[in-house]
Chain A
Amino acid sequence: MRTPPPAPGGPDRATRAPAPRGEGPRAAHLVALFALALLLFNFPLLALWDRDLRVLGLPLFPLALFVLWALLIAALAWLLERPRD
C-alpha cells in the first residue's frame, strides 16, 4: 500500500519518540566550560591581566576579572537556555 503524503509540518515531530534523558544541555559542554573557568581564574592565566594598563580609565586587572566573569555567565546562559537540536 502506498503511504499517504506527509502532512505539512506535522509528522516529523509527532513520530519522534520523546527523549527522556536527552533533554537539557549536554553534560560535556558544561564540564568543559567549568574547566575553562577553573583555568582562567587560577595560576598562571590570572597573571595575564596583571598589567599597569587602563582601559577606558579603568584599571585592567579588576576589569578583566569582571569581564571574564560576565562572559562565563553569558556562555552558561546560552548553554542552558538554548533549545536542544
Chain B
Amino acid sequence: MLAPATVLAASLGYLLLLFAVAAWADARARAGRSVIGNAWVYALSMAVYCTAWTYFGSVGRAAGGGVWFLPIYLGPMLAMLLAWLVLRKMIRVARAQRLTSIADFMASRYGKSPALAGLVTLVTMVGIVPYIALQLKAIAFGYAVLTQPAGAGGAAGGPWWTDGTLYAALALAGFTMIFGTRQLDGTERHEGMVAAIAFESVVKLVAFVAVGLYVTWGLFGGPAELFAQALARPELAALLRLAPEGGRFAYEQWFALTLLSMLSVLFLPRQFQVMVVENVDERHLRRAAWVFPAYLLAINLFVLPIALGGLLHFGRGAADADTFVLSLPLATGAHGLALVAFIGGLSAATGMVIVEAIAVSTMVCNDLVMPLLLRTRRFAARQDLTRVLLAVRRTAIVLVLLLGYLYFHLAGEAYALVSIGLISFAAVAQFAPALLGGLYWKDATRTGALAGLLAGFGLWVYTLMLPSIAKSGWWHTDFVAAGPFGAALLRPEALFGIGGLDPLTHALFWSLLANIGLYVGLSLLTRPSAAEASQALLFVDAFERVPSARPVFWRGRAQVADLHGLLARFLGAARAQRLFDAVARERGAADASALQPDAALVQRVEHELAGAIGSASARVMVARAVEEEPLALDDVLRILDEASQLRRYSQALEQAGAELRAANERLASLDRLKDDFMSSVTHELRTPLTSIRALAELMLDDPDMPEAQRQQFLGIVVTETERLTRLVNQVLDMAKIESGHAEWHTSDVDLVELLRQAAQTVQEMLRERGAELVLDLPAQAPLLRADADRLTQVVLNLLSNAAKFVPAGRGRITLRLRVAPGMLTVEVQDNGPGVPADQRALIFEKFRQGGDAANRPQGTGLGLPISRQIVEHFGGRMELRPDSGQGACFAFTLPCPSTTDPAPPRAATGPPGDTR
C-alpha cells in the first residue's frame, strides 16, 4: 500500500499539470497559434470516450467474460467507418446553424422546438448523472485500493476518503468553470479544455500500456507464456473462446452491445461536444476517423493479458477484477507503477467529467433554465443578461457534479462499473432515431420525434432504470420478479412475456422498437409545419448548399435598433456592436444604423443568439423582438425555389470564375515560356557577337597584325556571322511555324526519293568526318501530301546531328524508312555515345543541345524543336527511340494514305497551314 499523502500529492500535482496545459493552450490560442488545430489533437480529444469505465471496467469484464469487453470498442470502430458521411454532416449542420449541444441539434431540426430541447436535456440528465457518479466512484475506488492494506476490500473505506471524492468533484467543477465557461458563446471553442483532454488521452494510454507491459513481460515473461499458463487452466481457457464455460454464445447481446456503443460514440453529450462543437476543420475527420479507432485498439490490447494475469496471480474470486490494473502492480511490489496506473485512471475519469459537465451544463442552461427564466416578467425586463447566463451555466456545472457525487454516495456501491455505463449508453441511444432520421429524412416531424423519444425513454426507465434501482436495494424487487401488481405480462425484464434475453438487450429492443415505431409512424401521419419543413431542408441538404445561397425562411418587419438591443442583452453591448459593424462593412453600409433590417439580418442575429442561448430560445426571443408574419408551407417552398435559383446563379458564377482563373494561369505560364525563350535567344546571339566584336577590336587596335593572323580572325568572324544568320533565320522560322504564319507548299512527296537526295546532300560533309552512311530504304513507298522542302530540312537536321556525334573516322549512320499500313517511319540511327538519360526529356526543347558545355557541338539548339514542329504540322510525331546502347536513334512517323487506298487525304483540298 501507499501512503495517502503520496497519492494525494500525486493527484493534486496531476490536476495542477492539467490546469497548466489548459492555460498554456488558451494563451497560445490568444496569441493566434492554436495547438488544437490539427487532426491528431482532434483524434486524441475523441478518445474522451475511454473513461474510467474503460480503464478499470474493461479488465473486470474480461476477467468475468473473456472477449465481452470488446463490443464497446468495436461499435465505435463501426461508427468511424461512416464518420466521414454522418459525422461530417453533423459538423456541417452544427456550424451553419451555430448549434452547441445535442439537445439544440435535435430541437433545431424539428422546427427549433423548445419542448424537444427540454426533453432531450432531461433524458441526458437522467442518463448521464449515474455515469458521472461512476467516474467519481472509480477515483474513490482507486484511491482506496492504493491506500488500504491488501485484503481490506475495495471501496468499503471509512469517511476520510469520501470527502476526498467530494473535493475531487469540486476541483473538477472548478476546472470546468474556468476552461469551459470563459466565453458565453458555446460555438467559441474551448481551446484549453480540448488541449487538456487530448493530454489526458495520452496519459491514460501510456499508463495503461505501461501496466500491460509490466504484467505481460515483467510478471510472466511474455504473452506466449502468459497465455500458456492461462490455457492450462480450463476455467481460464474458457475465457479465450467464443462462449465462456461452454454455454451458448449470446449473439443478440453481442450485437446489441455493438449497436449501443456505435450509437453512443456519436450521441453521448461529451462526444458531441468534442467531435462536433469543438471541431476546428471538418477535414480533420479524414485522419481522426481512423486514428481514434487505432487508439481504442491500442488501449484494449493489454486488457486480456492484465485480466488473465490478475486471475492467475490472485486466483479466481479472490480479488475484485475491476481493480487489477492497480492491485496487480501493488501486490507485486511495483508501487511506482501502481501510482502511475492510478494517475491514468484519474485522467480517464477527469477527462470524461470535465467534458460531460460542459456539455450538460450548456444544455441545462439553454434548454431548461432559460426558457423558464425568460417567461418570468422580472427577468425578461433586465437589460444585460450576459452575467446571468454565465452564472446559470456555472451553477449547472456544480449542480451536475454534485448530483453525480450524490448518486455515487447513494447508489454507487451497489453496481459494478460496467452496468452503470451501459445503462447510460442505452438512454443516449434513444436519440438515434430522431437524430439520424432527421439528417436524412425530410418528412420526419416534430410530433414523431417527440413521441418516439418519450416512448423510448419511458420504456428505458421501466425496463432498465427501475430494475437497476430495485436491484441496488432501494426498493423491493418483487415488481421485477413478478411484475407490477403481480401482472406477469408486465415484468420489466420480460415485457409481454418475451424472455430469454439479457436485461440490456431486452430493454434496448423494446425501447428502440417503440421509439422508431412512433417516430416513423407519426411522421407519416402528420404534416410538418413550415418551420419544420424549412429546417428539414437545411439539415438534409447540408452538403448541397453553399453558404451564400442558403435560403432565409423569414418574413416580417423588424427594426435595427430592436435587433441590436436584443443581441446586446445576451452577448453584451461590445459584441453586439462588433457584429453589426461587421455586417455593415460586408454590405457597404455607412454604419450599423444604416443597415436594412431584412430577413437575412434577422437570421444573422438569430444565429448569433443561438450560439449563446440555443436555437429554441433564440427563436423565441427573436419572435418577440420583431413583427413576424407566419410562414405557410407554400411560402417555404417558394423561398426554397428562389434560393435554388440563386444557387444556380452562384454556381454558374463560381464556374465562370474558375475558368477565368484557369485561363489567366495559362496566360501567365505562356508568358513565362516567352520570357525563357527571349533570354535564351539573346544569350545565343551574344556569344557570337562577343567574339566578333573582340576580334574586330583586336584588328582595329593592331594595324601591324601579321596577315596570316588577320586572315584567320576574319575567317572566324565570317563563321560566327554565318552562325548568327542561321540563328536569326531559325528563330524567325520557329516563330512563323508556331504562330501559324509559315508558308507551306504542299505537294505529293515520294519519301524514298527525298531521302536519297538528302543523303547525297550530306555525303560530302560525312566524308570529311570519315563517317559512313547506310541507306535502308524500300523500293517504293506511298506518296505523301507534304512540303518537300520542309521534310528535307527535317531529315538534313537529323543527319547532321548524327554526323556531329559519331566518333571521328569510324562513324556509321543508318537512314531507314519503314512502311506500315497508314504510316511511314523514318529512322536515323548513329553509333555515337547516345543521349544521356537525364537529357532525353529535354532534347526537343528550344536551345537545349546535347553534350555538356565544354564540348558542345556547333549548332543553335533550335534544329530539333523546329523539326518536331514540322513533323507535327503534318500530323506525325517525332521521338527519340529508347536507348538501345548503340548510339542514338531519332525517328519520325508520318501518316499516309494506306497503300490499298489511293484516295488523297482531305488535307490536300486546301492549304493545311491554318486549319489546325
Chain A residues packing against B (C-beta within 8 Å):
1-2, 4-5, 7, 10-11, 14-18, 20-21, 24-25, 27, 30-31, 33-34, 37-38, 41-43, 46-47, 50, 52, 54, 56-59, 61-62, 65-66, 69-70, 72-73, 76-77, 80-81
Contacts and interface: CB of A to CB of B under 8 A. Distances in A.
Nearest to B914: A2
A62 B223 CA distance: 13
Interface string B419-459: 00000000000000000000000000000000000000000
B224 A2 contact: no
B123 to A, nearest CB: 27
B286 A81 contact: yes
B78 A37 contact: yes
Given A24-B286, A38-B78, A81-B286, A15 B84 contact: no
B916 interface: yes
A36 to B, nearest CB: 9
A55 B77 CA distance: 25
22 contacts: A1-B740, A1-B914, A7-B669, A7-B673, A11-B669, A14-B666, A15-B659, A24-B84, A31-B82, A41-B74, A43-B254, A57-B225, A59-B227, A62-B240, A69-B74, A73-B297, A76-B81, A76-B293, A80-B84, A80-B287, A81-B286, A81-B287
A19 to B, nearest CB: 10
B231 interface: yes
B290 interface: yes
If over half of B's interface residues share one DSSP class (helix, strand or loop), that class is named, otherwise mixed; here it is helix
Nearest to B651: A20
Interface in B252-269: 254-255, 258
B248 to A, nearest CB: 11
B297 A58 contact: no
A21 B84 contact: no
Contact of B84 (A1, A25, A56, A59): A25
User: Interface extent on B, as a size class?
Assistant: 35 or more
A47 B227 contact: no
Nearest to B544: A21
A73 B296 CA distance: 11
Contact of A72 (B66, B77, B223, B739): B77
Nearest to B73: A69
Given A25-B84, A30-B82, A41-B258, A57 B228 contact: yes
B67 A62 contact: yes
B543 interface: yes
A33 B297 contact: no
A16 B738 CA distance: 25
A57 B224 contact: yes
- Which 8 A-B pairs have CB atoms at the shortest separation, nearest pair first? A57-B224, A50-B242, A2-B740, A77-B290, A43-B251, A59-B240, A34-B81, A7-B669
A25 B85 CA distance: 9
B77 A11 contact: no
Contacts of B670: 4, 7
Contacts of A4: 670, 738
Contacts of A52: 241
Contacts of A69: 74, 77, 293, 297
Contacts of A11: 662, 666, 669
A42 B258 contact: yes
A38 to B, nearest CB: 6
A57 B223 contact: yes
Given A18-B658, A72-B293, 13 more contacts: A7-B669, A14-B662, A17-B658, A33-B81, A38-B78, A41-B258, A50-B243, A57-B225, A57-B228, A61-B67, A66-B300, A76-B81, A81-B287
